[in-house]
Structure 1
Amino acid sequence: MYADVILPVPIPKWFTYRVEAEFQEQIGIGYRVMVPFGNRKILTGIVAKVHPKAPEIYQAKAILDVLDDFPVVNALQIKFWNWMAGYYCCHIGEVMNAALPSGLKLSTESRVHLHPNFDPEAPGFPMDGRELLVLETLAKHDEMRVEQFEQILPGKTIHKIIKSLLSKGAVLLYESVKEKYSPKTEHRIRLAKKFLTEENQLQDLFLELKGKQKQEQVLLQYLQLIPVFQKPELNDAGLLKNVLTDAGCSQSSIDTLIKKEVLESFRVTISRFEEQTVGNDSITLSPLQQEAVQEIHGQFEDKNTLLLHGITGSGKTEIYIELIKEVLDSGSQVLLLLPEIALTTHLVFRLQKVFGNKMGVYHSKYSDNERVEVWQGVLKGRFNFVIGVRSSLFLPFDSLGLVIIDEEHEPSYKQFDPAPRFQARDAAIMLAWMHQAKTILGSATPAFESFFNAQNGKYGYVKLDKRYGNAELPHFHLADILKDKKKNLLKLDFTRILREKIQDALNRQEQVLIFQNRRGYAPYISCEDCGWIPQCEHCDVSLTYHQYQEELRCHYCGFKEKPPKACPACGSHKLTTVGVGTERIEENLSLLFPEARIARMDLDTTRSKYGYQRILEDFGAGNVDILVGTQMITKGLDFDRVSLVGVVDADRILYFPDFRSGERAFQQITQVAGRAGRREKTGDVVIQTRRPDQLIFSQIMSGNYTDFYQQEIRERKQFYYPPFIKNIKVTTKHKDYKTAENASLHLKNLVTTIEAKKIVLGPEKSLIGKIKNLYLFEIWIKLEKSVSVQEYFKKELMEKIMELQAEKKFRSVRFLVDVDPF
């Protein structure tokens, strides 16, 4: 018997291994196995296929061990991984690496042991004293970890010695594997079973303990809490040790009773998640929402995917809840995708009230062990409904009935690094198709690709154009930054109208959201005399100034340094900050409104697991008057008292060198504006800009998405941009500028020979030409949308890349393929 195994390595093919007789009964698709790879490595792989055919090209090695009693991955997942590897031009091992939570992978540590065939008497390999010492030590211990040798050989020479011994065939180096996942346990105690057979035995025990008051107290306290004769099953479950100590019992007396075998100490495995019971929180749909649900059912009769185009505050969440209930009642599973971890914390509480312990939550801020428990919860049927971010696509679903992608337009659904560089929205549609499930794409400002498919009849389409209840859309105000600056009305980056509106909201004890899509204090600092700007040592970008930490930081590689006291170029002390980040806005607001309680929400303040949640809880409880934030605050937030939203610099989003910049500006400003006045009271939105005459602002203010879409889509068609073509970007990376450029030029020449309807642009130096000491060049390919053309082209492209990498001069070049780049 043989098994094809998927290994976590960037190699295109599966590897076939021999299944020894001892494992033949316990192996199948989806089991984790330990296998040898190369001469020294041991890897953990997933069995993709079991069959009787031996490989023709090489001698199959034997599987070393089977790690599971039941499969942790199902056949549908492997099919999905295969599709993702093909569509996004990567290897299935890279998909497997992204799919499995770290806790299901094995950690490795290098170990050294004597080579069984090594003859120390053989001539030709003289050993020095240090090498002989290593061999003598190994002869006594059989095997040792690399770091253990540092105790007998101080200094940093051990790796050189082991390398020398490897070359002489004296030792073998291999990876010792350890399970990462460990279940959570708690320490419990119970009364030994021998005292439960007859009451006399318990009486004899009390006589024996007479005079030992502390031990008597422990026993009496236990019997008071656990009526062992009336309910013996409670004794089986036992008590947490700390329950007795909290009740005043002595820890040493408890330990003494355990030694005397009066009490038994034992551990039980428990869930890392609090058990939730299904709440009584019922959802009442408005007539418009009920109508939308009926319309969705009607569209699903002949369409598998549907776009729910509902304006901000129209009550899409209630519609989701109604549809989720229906699918769960039918016995199928549901996946609700959200673009960011940030959103999950806000929605989890709301959905748990309805679905209780049927619902699992899955995102990267959870620990490895927590994610494994959700994975196993889906496998065992504990969680039939999962709410999560893009990584939750990889969970072991076996009967999906509905996939919902909320805020489907969000760029954060795109995985940038590492491979697979997938678009979670598109991958979710494919996953649903494989399960024969339905898909709902929800958004107030749909992605052009989704709206295009809905307009062409490929997707169903349902529109909600009224806010839930009596809520009205906010009033918009355009604030001209340049006009206020000329009249000397611009103070600390805030126009007069925005300052007045903030003061009015504070006077009415209402809350304010301020949006600026740039974290840090200022984009950069500059010398007023010579124009010097501090640059990152490893990337082609200026360093962002963070005042709170008093440092200059690169947002690409993490490099940081203290700001200089004087200009290194000319010695001037006239160093000034240029531009505005969230940190600076927070400071300016505290100067303008000293009485206001201000908080900031960006990547710097939400790094911890519950950072986002704490800020939102404070804001929801009314402990914060003004919340400053990046795109994190543009979506999903629903607070009654927010009456004003301010957009500090709309031009920064609009004038960005990207064909999607107009679409992004419309989406972000509309989304953040939707946070204002979400109940009976009408809110205000102030947009600060230097170009108030731009047509896009009047379209945002009127909420006219269709007009904006039609204007933009004409340009997309004229200049060959999505959704009319398929975009593929290939980036070459290398530490040497010329090597990176030459690799890109060679690849461009090879790509142009592929027979397909395409436009090849570049190679050009990337917008940021160097990141982490690697130079970047890009080739952009505009490809015909035909499925067969795409499949053929991608296959040929990967072959051309492998052809280039086989050349010695390009062996160290990294080629990154990004399908549907954002």
Structure 2
Amino acid sequence: MKLNETADPAAATQPVYIEVIFNSPAPGRYTYKLAEGMNLSVGMRVSAPFGRRKMTGYTVSVGVDPGETDFEIKAIERIIDKQPIYGTAEIALARWLADMYYCTEGEALATMLPGGKRESRMPAFEEFELPPVQEITLSDEQRRAIDGIMADDGGVHYLYGITGSGKTEVFLRTAAAVIESGGGVIYLVPEISLTHQLTDEVRMRFGKGVAVLHSALTPSQKLVEWQRIRSGEARFVIGARSAVFAPVPDLGLIIIDEEHESAYKSGSKPRYHARQVAMHRAGETGARMIMGSATPSLEAWYLVKSGRIKGETLGKRLSGGAVPDIELIDMKKYKGCISKPLETAIRETAAEGRQTILFLNRRGFSYFFHCRSCGYESRCRNCSVSLTYHKHRNKLICHYCGYSEEPKQVCPECGSLDVGYSGFGTELIESELNNLFPDLRIERVDTDSVKQKGSLRDRLDRFKAGEIDLLLGTQMVAKGLNFPGVKLVGIVLADTSLHLPDFRAHERTFNLIVQVAGRAGRFFPDGRVMIQTYKPDNEAVKMAAGGTIDAFYEREIEIRRALEFPPFGRLFRLVFRGKNAERTASAAENFAARFDTEILPKESGTEVLGPAECPLSMISGNYRFQIIIRTDNFRLVHSLFRGALSQFTPPSGVYLEADVDPVNLL
């Protein structure tokens, strides 16, 4: 029986057998029989006995021949869905996902699909009256970009544009053209909760043909949206990372906004990257794909420069404001979180009736070693990454290769005794701001302060309305939000991401400064950007402040080329975690030794780094060790790594986490 046929037990003289996969690390397809009277199609979920449990399974084949068995084939208990929620295309995508990211077919399909067991009667979104859409006149640059993208029937394009240059309008006009021609659109954003301005604009333009997928929906509401997409009722899908799996019929366009964001990489199994999945789907369907950012990932920038994907450029701001100059403040000259120049600028901005945004990058480590006199920092002699201070071991450690050294009491560069470890937090800064500016209306926006549903949007709406004078936030205030009243933007400490033990540390710091600077002066020519840093002479900081974007990328490319890091090599990461440190470390050492000496060919262009403690060496009581594999022979190592994982049996209580193309090595 073909995959799209339906089993009709009433017409059969023999039991009908089906194949089912489960969201389980146990691989394989499992055969079950249908009870009399059951009518089932591929794409319907079932409840079935699996070992000693009842589990939700995914039907992938109907009418199979079980052959001779020496055990009784069990029957499914019930059919969950009234109609299929996936088809052969989703099954094929799950198979590719499982192969690429080292998971089972069932784990892959479970990641792709909504989890609701029945469709909600509540609408996923409140109905609201759509105001008329204001007609926007395209600039010559925007028109050329759209023409260039639409001239291709398929293919991948990159839209590079400075902040405020109108990238979103290019995306939406291209999407409208694709929908008008009968195609469907997937529009990916890093975090849907931070982009309500964009989702409102999309719904105003495309009305009820829009489905928005985000984490605030209940599983049942997600199922409603999923079926609207599958039926063709909603042909424009906007959402975060997992929306890349949306079952859009006649998929004609995939957009990845803010392509550089690490949020597009899943942190749990399967650890897929939405960019990689989107490229695969575009290749399979012939859809166009557009990525865009003011700060492309180095990998994407290299693909454009090498001609492997096509680039379009927007070099001018549309709303009259120029890209503001960036003022660097050397924090070695000041005590506390807020320097005197930044304090003065905040007072001047408030006196003019304008607003300030202060940004704190919390993704970096608090504990990095630096000299307050000259800015020296300890770096690994083998890996060109910062060493991380581990207080409990009193050592500076490289989390790539395991190299370590004793903490220094004096600066080896200038001999100063003014050395130490430092960092800031949002609550500390908020307290200092309230002491400095008791008359200003100050609000903090981070994950701790906006846990209540709707509180983030409420705070941002009040800021846009001028009811807040100063907004202090983490990455929530750096992502594509436009506030007309903002004159001053400050980064409280730009150094934190520089000290991540990661070869991408400089790239992330550069991206942060350029993106945050883009929030200032978008509607007026007098915007100000002030960057506090202990390292004003750092190349990433200086180039971001100077606007020498191409020069930064070219410099980083040469560093990556020398180290054979992406885009010149591919990485695999394997994390071992367990309650017993010695047993966990031993498992990592055994795997690394066997893979390096027994499995890898001698001339494979591959290097095994570690094992070493993970930068976050303990999470939830589990000790963590990692192996990094660096290679320029991806296909070979991907296959060998899969085989090694399947053959390796970790000790009791030790668990493995495999990651292809990791973006986070913490």
Q: Same fold (TM over 0.5)?
A: yes
Q: Is the 8 A contact 1:379 1:397 kept in 2?
A: yes
Cα distance in 1, alignment partners of residues 215 and 491 from structure 2 = 30
| 1:382 maps to 2:233 | yes
Deviates more, 1:763-772 or 1:341-350: 341-350
| 1:784 maps to 2:623 | no
The equivalent of 1:221 in structure 2 is: none
Cα distance in 1, alignment partners of residues 244 and 338 from structure 2 = 43
Cα distance in 2, alignment partners of residues 758 and 812 from structure 1 = 30
The equivalent of 1:797 in structure 2 is: 644
| 1:815 maps to 2:656 | yes
Cα distance in 2, alignment partners of residues 41 and 541 from structure 1 = 43
Q: CA shift at 1:21, angstroms?
A: 5.2
Cα distance in 2, alignment partners of residues 611 and 793 from structure 1 = 48
Cα distance in 2, alignment partners of residues 763 and 475 from structure 1 = 44
AA aligned opposite 1:352: R
If the length of structure 1 is used for normalisation, what is the TM-score? 0.69
The equivalent of 1:167 in structure 2 is: none
Cα distance in 2, alignment partners of residues 102 and 50 from structure 1 = 22
The equivalent of 1:465 in structure 2 is: 315
Instruction: From 280, 292, 295, give the equivalent of 2:132.
Output: 280
Cα distance in 1, alignment partners of residues 633 and 444 from structure 2 = 43
Question: What SS does structure 2 have at the residue aligned with 1:477?
Answer: strand
Instruction: From 539, 555, 565, give the equivalent of 1:695.
Output: 539
Q: Is the 8 A contact 1:276 1:352 kept in 2?
A: no
Instruction: From 432, 437, 441, give the equivalent of 2:291.
Output: 441
Cα distance in 2, alignment partners of residues 57 and 312 from structure 1 = 64
Q: Is the 8 A contact 2:184 2:235 kept in 1?
A: yes
Cα distance in 1, alignment partners of residues 18 and 290 from structure 2 = 38
Cα distance in 2, alignment partners of residues 372 and 283 from structure 1 = 34
Q: Is the 8 A contact 1:279 1:352 kept in 2?
A: no
Instruction: From 463, 466, 475, give the equivalent of 1:619.
Output: 463
The equivalent of 1:772 in structure 2 is: 620
Cα distance in 1, alignment partners of residues 193 and 514 from structure 2 = 19
| 1:14 maps to 2:26 | no
| 1:745 maps to 2:589 | yes
The equivalent of 2:54 in structure 1 is: 42
Question: What SS does structure 2 have at the residue aligned with 1:336?
Answer: strand
Question: What SS does structure 1 have at the residue aligned with 2:323?
Answer: coil
Q: Deviations over 1:412-455 (max 9, x none)?
A: 111112x1111122222212222221111110000011111111
Cα distance in 2, alignment partners of residues 672 and 518 from structure 1 = 14
If the length of structure 2 is used for normalisation, what is the TM-score? 0.85
Q: CA shift at 1:519, angstroms?
A: 9.0
Q: Is the 8 A contact 1:650 1:687 kept in 2?
A: yes
Cα distance in 2, alignment partners of residues 21 and 353 from structure 1 = 50
Cα distance in 1, alignment partners of residues 637 and 62 from structure 2 = 31
Cα distance in 1, alignment partners of residues 319 and 422 from structure 2 = 45
1:462-501 correspondence runs (5 A): 462-483=312-333, 485=334, 490=335, 492-501=336-345
Instruction: From 62, 84, 105, give the equivalent of 2:97.
Output: 84
Question: What SS does structure 1 have at the residue aligned with 2:116?
Answer: helix
| 1:423 maps to 2:276 | no
| 1:394 maps to 2:394 | no
AA aligned opposite 1:85: A
The runs of 5 or more residues in structure 2 that have no matched partner are 1-15, 369-388, 393-420
| 1:641 maps to 2:485 | yes
Q: CA shift at 1:274, angstroms?
A: 2.7
What is the CA RMSD across the aligned residues, in angstroms?
Answer: 2.3
AA aligned opposite 1:478: L
Cα distance in 1, alignment partners of residues 65 and 132 from structure 2 = 57
Q: Deviations over 1:734-769 (max 9, x none)?
A: 111111011111211232222444111111121122
Cα distance in 2, alignment partners of residues 50 and 716 from structure 1 = 50
Q: 1:19 to 1:367 in 2, by over 3 A?
A: closer
Instruction: From 293, 297, 300, give the equivalent of 2:146.
Output: 293
Cα distance in 1, alignment partners of residues 530 and 493 from structure 2 = 10
Q: CA shift at 1:774, angstroms?
A: 1.1
Q: CA shift at 1:470, angstroms?
A: 2.0
The equivalent of 2:413 in structure 1 is: none
| Bigger relative contact order (CA 8 A; separation at least 6) | 2
Deviates more, 1:406-415 or 1:582-591: 582-591
Q: 1:80 to 1:682 in 2, by over 3 A?
A: farther
| 1:676 maps to 2:520 | yes
AA aligned opposite 1:52: V
Instruction: From 246, 271, 290, give the equivalent of 2:123.
Output: 271
The alignment of Structure 1 onto Structure 2 pairs a total of residues equal to 593
Question: What SS does structure 2 have at the residue aligned with 1:47?
Answer: strand
Deviates more, 1:671-680 or 1:586-595: 586-595
Deviates more, 1:666-675 or 1:422-431: 422-431
Cα distance in 1, alignment partners of residues 178 and 328 from structure 2 = 45
The equivalent of 1:712 in structure 2 is: 556
AA aligned opposite 2:561: K
Q: Is the 8 A contact 1:407 1:443 kept in 2?
A: yes
The equivalent of 2:43 in structure 1 is: 30
Q: CA shift at 1:518, angstroms?
A: 2.7
Q: 1:600 to 1:751 in 2, by over 3 A?
A: same
The equivalent of 1:309 in structure 2 is: 160
Instruction: From 328, 337, 342, give the equivalent of 2:188.
Output: 337
Question: What SS does structure 2 have at the residue aligned with 1:307?
Answer: strand
Cα distance in 2, alignment partners of residues 444 and 496 from structure 1 = 30
Question: What SS does structure 2 have at the residue aligned with 1:103?
Answer: coil
Q: 1:608 to 1:369 in 2, by over 3 A?
A: farther
Instruction: From 56, 61, 75, give the equivalent of 1:62.
Output: 75
Cα distance in 1, alignment partners of residues 182 and 629 from structure 2 = 44
Cα distance in 2, alignment partners of residues 413 and 55 from structure 1 = 43
Q: CA shift at 1:44, angstroms?
A: 1.4
The equivalent of 2:568 in structure 1 is: 724
Identity, % of aligned pairs?
35
Q: Is the 8 A contact 1:183 1:369 kept in 2?
A: yes
The equivalent of 2:473 in structure 1 is: 629
Cα distance in 1, alignment partners of residues 226 and 391 from structure 2 = 42
Q: Is the 8 A contact 2:319 2:522 kept in 1?
A: no
Q: Is the 8 A contact 1:72 1:396 kept in 2?
A: no
AA aligned opposite 1:30: G
Q: Is the 8 A contact 2:197 2:481 kept in 1?
A: yes
Cα distance in 1, alignment partners of residues 250 and 67 from structure 2 = 34
Q: Is the 8 A contact 1:346 1:613 kept in 2?
A: no
Q: Is the 8 A contact 1:601 1:627 kept in 2?
A: yes
1:127-138 correspondence runs (5 A): none
Q: CA shift at 1:58, angstroms?
A: 5.7
Question: What SS does structure 2 have at the residue aligned with 1:45?
Answer: strand
Cα distance in 1, alignment partners of residues 496 and 633 from structure 2 = 32
Q: Is the 8 A contact 1:448 1:723 kept in 2?
A: yes
The runs of 5 or more residues in structure 1 that have no matched partner are 105-180, 185-269, 525-539, 544-576
| 1:350 maps to 2:201 | yes
Deviates more, 1:693-702 or 1:399-408: 693-702
Q: CA shift at 1:645, angstroms?
A: 0.6
Instruction: From 611, 619, 623, give the equivalent of 1:763.
Output: 611
| 1:183 maps to 2:34 | no
AA aligned opposite 2:331: I
Q: Is the 8 A contact 2:320 2:522 kept in 1?
A: no
Question: What SS does structure 2 have at the residue aligned with 1:22?
Answer: coil
Q: Is the 8 A contact 1:516 1:648 kept in 2?
A: yes
Q: CA shift at 1:28, angstroms?
A: 2.3
AA aligned opposite 1:91: T
